[in-house]
Chain A
Amino acid sequence: MNQHILTRHNVKKKGNGKQLIIFAPGFGCDQSVWNTVSKAFESDYKVVLFDYVGMGNSDASAFNREKYSTLDGYAQDVLDVCTALDVKGAIFVGHSVSSMIGMLASLRQPTYFSQLIMIGPSPCYLDDPPEYFGGFQKEDLIGLLDMMEKNFIGWANVFASTLVNSTAQPEVMQELEDRFCSTDPVIARQFAEACFFADNRQDLPHVTVPSLILQCSHDSIAPASVGRYIHQHIPQSTFKQMEATGHCPHMSHPDETVRLIHDYLVNKETGAISTDTGDIS
């Protein structure tokens, strides 16, 4: 059973430490987005990487339209991986929508997690005026789905040309390229719908696991106001404004990302900062 789950989610364990740190990829991509950041933790932690069903090298045949129609299905993936690894008190690092998936998992099994680290989180992407501005209107999100659909047409060509250019082990290269961001269009669309039409604002106050919110500058997906909203509503949360811009600091600014996570965890261990006085500069 455990092996089945580990294979299904393409679970990879690396590193020498005892403390488990799980990296969960955001929407659209697989675990390879963590390549740089996760390597930095291998010396002190046991690093766990995985893919959601339908992403990367997971077992796409396990995809179930009903289960994955909401984020709960993906939270169940996280819990399945944790159970299979017999996890207790793990650090969960989630990018983008994975922050919310990790949070939902922690609400169901709080003991599995000791820290939730959220990079560019948003509890709700849609505007809900006058109190809440997620940054998007329904038409924007439908536009995104439309664009995904059109790009799936073109991507077949992208990967074909990559194959031609690759001299060493072309089959392996193709496998890696194919799986990186190009998932099955049906699965990708369903994940997109589950992510972008989710509203988890009501869940925030119930989070019991200490959380770090890493807020990028000029993040057009999860603006700073949204990050602050989460900080205000999750009881034991720390807010950290990053110098990194955009929505993917773990890829564009891996050094700062690593440093902030690392500092947070070290300070937590030593009790140097209290949980409710995060820097909201």
Chain B
Amino acid sequence: MEKYWNHAPCGFLTLSYDGNLLSINQKLLDILDYNESELVNQHIDTVLARSTRLFFQFYFLPLILEKKQVEEMYITLLTKSGKELPILINASLQEQTIFCVIVPMTRRTEYENQVLTAKKEAEASKAKLEEALHTIEHKQKELAAVNRQNEAFKIETQKELQLAKKIQETLLTKPVQNKNIQIESYYKASKELSGDIYGFYRINQYQYGIIIMDVMGHGISSSMITMSLHSRFQKLITKGKTPQEIMQELDGHLHHLFHNHEEAWHYCTAIYLLIDTKQQRVEYVNAGHPPAIYQSPEGKQQELATTMLPIGSFHNINFPSEILEYEKGGRFFLYTDGVSEPLEPTGLLNLLHENVNTPPFEFKKRIIHDLSKASLHTDKQDDKCFIIVDLK
């Protein structure tokens, strides 16, 4: 039996309470490269690495003395040449002797070291990840705060725009209806504020001035220019100025506005009709605007085409007017391109022709109906404005 345990596939030794080596098998002597006589009666410290000596005293001895057994403890032995040898030790206490079985675990230790290294690396990565998450959370909170501010700003801006829209709309003139003339109009901004503007005024018993304008672009900047132009043309028209004078003045006004302010430069298309119901004629200027349409009671159509460039485009140009005679029962139709473009290809002219006998208010409703139908097929939204003038 002794022969067997000497060459068993594991180390075996016995210790006294004091930690003195009482016996040791040949296998372990071979592993540690000692002779039996060199180790028996020596203290176990002889074959323990220095760190293990501490561990042995702090953990191994208290455990074996108090609990009578130790299982799978990992410690490091020293060979005679001073080489460190990681081992697992199982021990039991019987009759005041400590019996120990020892299994070298060099390869296993390498794996364990790798596992421990990996664990530490993973922990470090986890810490970094947590830090990153923390940063992201922080940024998200900041973003949420900015979004709330933006939302508040947006609501505030929306309120302001609605108010501005109301102000712009208060400038628009009301429908006119008397024994000589009936005027209906329609006005719809693509956003809150429009770059279109119109006005019609009774100048005297027989004369009416009708203007429609489209400032390039749309939205806030264009709308502000319409406000400025409106205050001008209202005075000019009601004073009974000629179409030429009016366009000249408005052109000068735009040039004056943007003098030294190139970046704010806007031009504007406009058409002005001075209607004289007594003489049954119209004097007009069309400054780059889509042609107004005259339709006789029989449905004959005539365009009041562009006579000059848009106002505010070139300096020092004249705006000579044209004259058109009309018949009672005839109809003028003025509009901006936001109205004509969606109605292509059948076009405004057809629509007008089809509705030659339709009263102005009904005709207006039809146009609006056609416009809203057309808007279903396009994302492009432009300011819309038109005026129907029926002459009696």
Binding site for B on A (CB under 8 A): 26-29, 32-33, 35, 96, 136-137, 139-144, 146-151, 153-155, 157-158, 161, 177, 180-181, 196, 218-221, 244-248, 251-253
What are 29 A-to-B residue pairs whose CB atoms are below 8 Å? Answer: A28-B62, A32-B66, A96-B58, A137-B50, A139-B51, A140-B50, A141-B51, A142-B51, A144-B55, A147-B51, A147-B52, A148-B55, A151-B73, A154-B73, A154-B88, A157-B72, A158-B72, A161-B71, A180-B66, A218-B18, A218-B43, A218-B45, A220-B54, A245-B19, A246-B19, A247-B57, A251-B61, A251-B65, A252-B61
Q: Which residues of B contact A181 (CB under 8 A)?
A: 59, 62-63
| Residue contact B50 to A136, C-beta cutoff 8 Å | yes
CB-nearest residue of chain B to A97: B58
Binding site for A on B (CB under 8 A): 17-20, 43, 45, 49-55, 57-59, 61-63, 65-67, 70-76, 88, 112, 116
Q: Which residues of A contact B63 (CB under 8 A)?
A: 180-181
Which of A35, A143, A151 contacts B74, CB < 8 Å?
A151
In terms of DSSP, what is the predominant structure of the interface of chain A?
Answer: helix
Max count, chain B CB within 10 A of own CB: residue among A139, A180, A248: A248
Q: How far is the CB of A39 from chain B (nearest CB, A)?
A: 14
CB-nearest residue of chain A to B67: A180
How many inter-chain contacts with C-beta < 8 Å in the A-B complex?
110
In terms of DSSP, what is the predominant structure of the interface of chain B?
Answer: helix
Q: How far is the CB of A247 from chain B (nearest CB, A)?
A: 4
Max count, chain A CB within 10 A of own CB: residue among B67, B75, B116: B67
Given contacts A147-B75, A151-B73, A251-B62, contact A246 B18 (CB under 8 A): yes
Q: How far is the CB of A29 from chain B (nearest CB, A)?
A: 5
| Residue contact B74 to A246, C-beta cutoff 8 Å | no
Q: How far is the CB of B21 from chain A (nearest CB, A)?
A: 13
Q: Which residues of B contact A180 (CB under 8 A)?
A: 63, 66-67
| Residue contact B54 to A221, C-beta cutoff 8 Å | yes
Bound Cα distance A27, B20 (Å): 23
| Residue contact B74 to A252, C-beta cutoff 8 Å | no
Bound Cα distance A151, B63 (Å): 13
Q: Which residues of B contact A245 (CB under 8 A)?
A: 18-20, 43
